[in-house]
Amino acid sequence: MSGAEQFLFACGSFQKEAVQERVFGHRLSGKPDALVGYRREPFVQPSTDASERVDGMVFRVTDADLAAADAYEPPNYRRSVVKTASGVLAWVYLRQI
């Protein structure tokens, strides 16, 4: 997924403006959203219960923002595409277990 308009779903540190400034060099523009069928314990992962949800934010990001996020996240996290509750296709970092 690449192109002019990309989104990143975040439910942790990327929601904090101080982290955004440090990682991306600017604040991200976003809105509240959720992942349905996922849980957070303590990291986001698919759930066997379709009614579970993880609340967070969807941010508009650039390729440079994604490269910075890739460098920030630990090596055992992989960026994957998900569909949010509002229907947005967004990147999310999922821990590989």
Sort 55 into a burial class: Cβ within 10 Å, 0-12 / 13-18 / 19+.
exposed
Q: What is the pLDDT of residue 4?
A: 64
Q: What is the pLDDT of residue 1?
A: 59
Q: What is the pLDDT of residue 97?
A: 73
Question: Which residues of the chain have a pLDDT value below 70?
Answer: 1-4
Q: What is the pLDDT of residue 2?
A: 54
CATH class entry, domain 6-95: alpha beta
User: What is the rounded CA–CA span in Å between residue 97 and residue 95?
Assistant: 6
